[in-house]
Structure 1
């Protein structure tokens, strides 16, 4: 046999040809016939069964998914099965679904603790396929990748022609003072040049999603800001730091410039000129209130 003759063609997720060394899947099929290359015990092509498994997962067809996984596992193609199941996690399931970890655990049991083609290994294969089929199916990652890639080409072609692109990335040019101004804090060169230090980060860059901080986290945030020896925050800033973003406008800011009481220098004195420092109270308190009063 010539070099390379023992390798079989297979197709990658993008349709490109790949090669894999033929696994130990020889012997007879269910009909007592010698199996052809890439034939399963039931007499099917492993390529077809593998494709069937993915489509069954995508369509949430539990029985067909379970059978396809079982067929691949018992036929000596467990390597193919687990490779494809892990691909489906990122290609066909909703982001954040914990089934990714579950499938990884089933694979570990089937391939490291037990033999993948034997009874326990086959049970793991079925469990993993059922878990994938029951998870929320979506092509969101693949669709996003295809869309962003197409826009990248359109932008490049438009720039070459000296024109505005017909389609652009959702962030546009991503410049300071624009919609995404909050990202230009001290962690970026532009933010550093603008003197956007801890104050800007706490009141703009560190704000969280529409659900907001829970009560305990918000309390800790307020107290940490109050106890900060280098930066003094007024009451509005304390409120803004823990205020959830608007679900309809998550990048909107009431004060995009981040101005407020100036951050202290290393000596603890205020770098601002003019008025007395704002301590964060209403002016009527004698300053003897407890920290918990400010944190609530």
Structure 2
């Protein structure tokens, strides 16, 4: 498959298109007329059909999206179609949607196993467009990019004036001992200087939530900490390591977190750690018995 980026539209100073039509897109249209550059078989501009496809995906209009994909594929603009569909995954669909893998697979089938403008290739194009249109539409990534970029400009302008910015990034100055102190563990220069090694990471940097660890993961976490031959964790540290973070304040590291019960996370009762130590030290005991 050709690289779509090599064939994106460029415009001259007079607004005219400066791009070549690929060989697959030449020939006659549906009316028996020689196709103009960038014309589809139905007599449309491929740029307009491509834009229509994106708007149809964004508005969840399945039929229009399916037609636009079919029109581009049958007209010899499959490279344009697949380039655009992959862009829509990151520009117009909710993060984490599995449709990205679906579209990738259909593209592979249409362009590597079959001919993209043949019957099977067109079916792949329609399937991919329908999958995109049926996925949860959102402009969250594009909106975040525009917002963060605008804030970056405002921060730079404020610094030049020697003022505090009217708008700032959600992390502020990102300093140690601040709201995001947990990130300054041994993986950072500041954390290393403060001697924040494995103990700090296990009890602060590795915490998850707000759902917390599941029962099995929490069990493994506590056992690994209890079996650590170099660090002797106390009960509060064991509890903190598997306690879910506060959903309303996920960066809080208050003392209450250390003794919080991890609901559904497999956190044991107040005597579990001591019992575990006894079991581990007992030559006839087993970790399986402890876990159960």
TM-score bracket relative to the smaller structure:
0.7 to 0.9
Q: Secondary structure at the match of 2:53?
A: helix
Q: CA 1:88/1:212 → structure 2, altered by over 3 Å: closer, same or farther?
A: same
Q: Say how many residue pairs are matched.
A: 264
Distance 2:237 2:208 in 1: 15
Q: Is the 8 A contact 2:106 2:128 kept in 1?
A: yes
Q: Is the 8 A contact 2:20 2:37 kept in 1?
A: no
Q: CA 1:111/1:28 → structure 2, altered by over 3 Å: closer, same or farther?
A: same
Distance 2:58 2:10 in 1: 18
Q: Write out per-residue CA displacement over residues 259-287 of structure 1, whole angstroms, 9 at most, x where no aligned residue.
A: xxxxxxxxxxxxxxxxxxxxx96999796
Q: TM-score, normalised by structure 1?
A: 0.83
Q: Secondary structure at the match of 2:9?
A: strand
Q: Which residue number corresponds to residue 182 of structure 2?
A: 182
Q: Which residue number corresponds to residue 272 of structure 1?
A: none
Q: Write out per-residue CA displacement over residues 26-69 of structure 1, whole angstroms, 9 at most, x where no aligned residue.
A: 11111111111111000101000000000000000000000000
Q: Is the 8 A contact 1:9 1:18 kept in 2?
A: no
Q: Which residue number corresponds to residue 37 of structure 1?
A: 37
Q: Which residue number corresponds to residue 10 of structure 1?
A: 9
Structure having the higher helix fraction is 2
Of 61-70 and 17-26, the range deviating more from structure 2 = 17-26
Distance 2:225 2:276 in 1: 20
Q: Is the 8 A contact 1:203 1:237 kept in 2?
A: yes
Q: CA 1:18/1:172 → structure 2, altered by over 3 Å: closer, same or farther?
A: farther
Q: Tell me whether 1:199 sits opposite 2:207 in the alignment.
A: no
Q: Tell me whether 1:86 sits opposite 2:92 in the alignment.
A: no
Distance 2:274 2:8 in 1: 80
Distance 1:286 1:98 in 2: 41
Q: Which runs of 5+ in 1 are unaligned?
A: 1-6, 259-279
Question: How far is 1:9 from its partner?
Answer: 6.5
Q: TM-score, normalised by structure 2?
A: 0.84
Distance 1:284 1:83 in 2: 59
Q: CA 1:217/1:289 → structure 2, altered by over 3 Å: closer, same or farther?
A: same
Question: How far is 1:21 from its partner?
Answer: 3.8
Q: Is the 8 A contact 2:226 2:277 kept in 1?
A: no
Cα root mean square deviation, aligned: 2.6
Q: Is the 8 A contact 1:203 1:240 kept in 2?
A: yes
Q: Is the 8 A contact 2:182 2:205 kept in 1?
A: yes
Q: CA 1:141/1:11 → structure 2, altered by over 3 Å: closer, same or farther?
A: farther
Q: CA 1:199/1:185 → structure 2, altered by over 3 Å: closer, same or farther?
A: same
Q: Tell me whether 1:288 sits opposite 2:278 in the alignment.
A: yes
Distance 1:95 1:184 in 2: 27
Matches within 5 A, 1:52-201: 52-201=52-201
Q: CA 1:169/1:285 → structure 2, altered by over 3 Å: closer, same or farther?
A: closer
Q: Is the 8 A contact 1:72 1:78 kept in 2?
A: yes
Q: Is the 8 A contact 2:111 2:121 kept in 1?
A: yes
Matches within 5 A, 1:263-278: none
Q: Which runs of 5+ in 2 are unaligned?
A: 1-5, 259-269, 281-286
Distance 1:286 1:233 in 2: 12
Q: Secondary structure at the match of 1:103?
A: helix
Question: How far is 1:292 from its partner?
Answer: 6.2
Q: Is the 8 A contact 2:207 2:242 kept in 1?
A: yes
Q: Is the 8 A contact 1:70 1:122 kept in 2?
A: yes
Question: How far is 1:289 from its partner?
Answer: 3.9
